[in-house]
Chains A and B, each alone.
Chain A
Amino acid sequence: MKPQEHTASAHNFEECMKCTICTAYCPVVPVNPRYPGPKQAGPDGERLRLKDPYFFNQALKYCLNCKRCEVVCPSGVNVADIIQSARIKYGKEQPKLRDWMLANTDFMGHLARPFAPIVNGVTGLGVTKTVLDATLAIDKHRTFPKYSYKSFEGWLKRRSKEQAKFEKQVAYYHGCYVNYNNPQLGRDFVKVMNALGYGVQLLDHEKCCGVALIANGMSQKATKNAVHNVKALQKAVDAGLKVLTTSSTCTMTIREEYPGLLQVDNSGVRDSILLATRFIWQLLESGQAQLKFKKDYHARIAYHIPCHLEKLGWGIFSTELLKMIPGVEFTLLDSNCCGISGTYGFKKENYEASQAIGKPLFDQIKSVNPDFVACDCETCKWQLEMSTDYAVKHPITILAEALEY
């Protein structure tokens, strides 16, 4: 018999040696006893599911897909991918109306935006929250992110001629959040890129990256979006453009989840999709561009690294950029999931777990008492602003505010 030289298995699950380090670092395990933990839900469960799909456990839906299990695994097992793939393959639960609404971020944004002042007013009301809680099981402690009356795409389209004048160009995958909820972040990004000598252009129609669709059991729709986005991205890459992003989760989804979970080939575009912080850091570090900062800028900033950014391994670009700004007093917060995990924390059944997961982080922010918190993730921002008294700003917004002009 020839001994087996190497093992090859989906998401490396055969490499698991049952050390339970993933379970020790899973943020859900300590707060939700119904969740079997990443080792059991992932590689252990996979063995059983391969025997018989009967062993699929609905409790896998409690996985946040935060990827912390993968970051800590000493054996290179993609634990969260195993769990999410199992949900896609064996999950039969039909998404509820609530999940459908939470997951279709672009559709809901499209619908709500023209009526933004009314929608924002109504969703902010106590009575609406009570109704949403009772009818849709969206927890009443949650405040819906505000919708913007004007979309970012419209704003940038009106400036396309002026942006085209820059000799150097980048494309921007802004994501649903910048388009519908926080166009200011997009405007800050354009301001910083212009200061670096780059014009910004939109992709030829982007769609939602699909992360919330995957999380809510709508992987077919997510796959459609992925196929569309890869085409749109390829067009920009073929034109010689880098595609920059400001959302760490959209970036992780497009780079990692498209091939890993949705089996959508992104090899032609993957290396060209970069977080703006990484691109900007490289420009400044190599001396290809400079930024002029205000002389009197001063801020005490505490930085929270989002789980998906830690998975990408690119948090260092955000922290290095922030430390580069004169007048910044920088504190790195301990790596700890904030608990919201996209749409997860909005659901009534997850509210308590969500707050318990984030508690050590909320406590640390309070004890550091910064002027504000810096973070690259929109849903972490919602969670931290709902759960602490501190404002949360994207590193790009902080750069824009610290620029001299």
Chain B
Amino acid sequence: MRFDTVIIGGGLAGLTAGISLQEAGRKVAIVSAGQNAMHFFSGNFEDAGPVRDRVAALFAAAGVRTNATDGLQLMAMGKFKNVSLTLEDVTVFPDEHIAEKVLLVNFAGYHDFFGTFIAETLENLGISCRIRFVRLAEMESLRTSPSEMRSVNIARMMDEYWEKVVTDIRVLHKDEDLILLPQVFGLKDAAVLDKIRKALPARVAFVGTMPPSVPGIRTQMLLKHRFEVLGGTFLMGDEVTSAALHEGIISSITTRNLDTVRLFADHFIIATGGFFSKGLVSTPTQVYEPLIGLDMDYSEDRNAWYNEEFFESQPYMNFGVKTDAELHPFKDGEPIRNMYAIGSILGNTRKEDFGTAAGLAIRTAFAAADAIKGGNV
């Protein structure tokens, strides 16, 4: 089967590159071994600065609204983080004094949202924070099983019952000027966020929860839908088993499901993620890239992999595949001239050029897509 570009990995980096190429009329296939780190997304496109407008435009066409405001995001564990581009779910505050008085509302029995940490941060800033719980009869069924009271399941119910929650919150509300809610709304459509904002008597901010991330899953589904509407081929649940590499050029790959039917392409992008997504694998003796055996940029001395101070920055976070200036990865010391490595598979190896995290994913995705559209092999 022949494509212009085959992308290995269907997360934020792979989909952004795929959509960008499909928009330019290229024929693209994405091979995705299961879902990805988008399901843990905080909604903050850290380090996206230079491509802020491009991301916003590409996402808007997919139905994902973004918020390009410089400021602070209140994180799930009660810390503040600088942001310049976020999903619309994130409320961006100009500074830490987010309110005079805060009402923080959680669902009874939902343990993936840590109101007490957030309240502690706020109290330290001199902001009073009252924590209250809502309990809906309709949600009691979620409590029958230990795995049901999760963000995604609550979000599904909220599509139907959000007005009841709003009614309960109105009763709880006294004179607070800000109401904080967990990000468990709008699994398929973010419209419910605005409805809730309008229906409550104070400003509303949605704060991240423990995974899975409702805004992340929604974004993933909308981006995949956009890619397919543009004519892209998304091979879900398949994985690459081999690559035909000859003199620095990959001509085709094979996958587990398609076995003898090879995927041929002029260009390949590897966007298989970091340790979480198994784009990088570590054993007690080595760190490696499992699909092609790409050359790694890392220390072979295991003692240098980690910092014993757990909360300090960990050296292994910097490990990634080695690339040249154009993001071509290397195999046995030679660059692969028609392949690009993008996203978390780079670790922090290209931090100076492309930043980190979600910003790294989209900036390298655009760089690879642009290089391919420019026609240089």
Q: Which A residues are closer than 8 A to B by beta carbons?
A: 3, 5-6, 19-21, 23-25, 29-30, 33-37, 39-40, 44, 70-76, 271, 278, 282, 285, 310-314, 316, 320, 332, 334-335
The answer to whether B235 touches A72 (Cβ under 8 A) is: no
Across the interface, which residues of B come within 8 angstroms of A311, CB to CB? 237
Among A36, A74, A271, A313, contact of B257 (Cβ-Cβ < 8 Å): A313
Across the interface, which residues of A come within 8 angstroms of B48, CB to CB? none
Across the interface, which residues of B come within 8 angstroms of A19, CB to CB? 39-40, 211-212
Q: With the chains together, A282 CA to B1 CA distance in Å?
A: 9
The answer to whether A314 touches B257 (Cβ under 8 A) is: yes
Q: Which 5 A-B pairs have the closest CB atoms?
A: A313-B257, A71-B237, A33-B141, A74-B34, A40-B147
B91 is an interface residue with CB less than 8 A from chain A: no
Report the count of interface residues on B (CB-CB < 8 A). Answer: 40
The answer to whether A312 touches B257 (Cβ under 8 A) is: yes
Contact status of A313 and B255, CB under 8 A, knowing A24-B39, A30-B153, A334-B225: yes
B146 is an interface residue with CB less than 8 A from chain A: yes
17 contacts between A and B (CB under 8 A): A20-B150, A29-B148, A33-B144, A34-B144, A36-B148, A37-B147, A40-B147, A71-B236, A72-B236, A73-B35, A74-B33, A74-B276, A311-B237, A313-B235, A313-B256, A314-B257, A316-B233
Q: Bits for B12-41, please: 1 = Cβ < 8 Å to A, else 0.
A: 000000000000000000000111100110
Across the interface, which residues of A come within 8 angstroms of B148, CB to CB? 29, 33, 36-37
The answer to whether A40 touches B212 (Cβ under 8 A) is: no
The answer to whether A316 touches B145 (Cβ under 8 A) is: no
The answer to whether A24 touches B147 (Cβ under 8 A) is: no
The answer to whether A37 touches B145 (Cβ under 8 A) is: yes
The answer to whether B34 touches A75 (Cβ under 8 A) is: yes
B331 is an interface residue with CB less than 8 A from chain A: no
Contact status of A76 and B33, CB under 8 A, knowing A20-B211, A34-B144, A36-B145: yes
B152 is an interface residue with CB less than 8 A from chain A: yes
In the complex, how many angstroms separate the beta carbon of A20 from the nearest chain B beta carbon?
A: 6
Across the interface, which residues of A come within 8 angstroms of B233, CB to CB? 316
| A39: nearest chain-B partner, CB-CB | B147
B277 is an interface residue with CB less than 8 A from chain A: yes
Among A24, A75, A310, contact of B237 (Cβ-Cβ < 8 Å): A310
In the complex, how many angstroms separate the beta carbon of B183 from the nearest chain A beta carbon?
A: 14
Q: With the chains together, A293 CA to B136 CA distance in Å?
A: 59
The answer to whether A74 touches B278 (Cβ under 8 A) is: yes
Q: With the chains together, A6 CA to B285 CA distance in Å?
A: 12
Q: With the chains together, A25 CA to B35 CA distance in Å?
A: 10
Q: With the chains together, A39 CA to B33 CA distance in Å?
A: 18
Among A6, A21, A35, A44, contact of B39 (Cβ-Cβ < 8 Å): A21
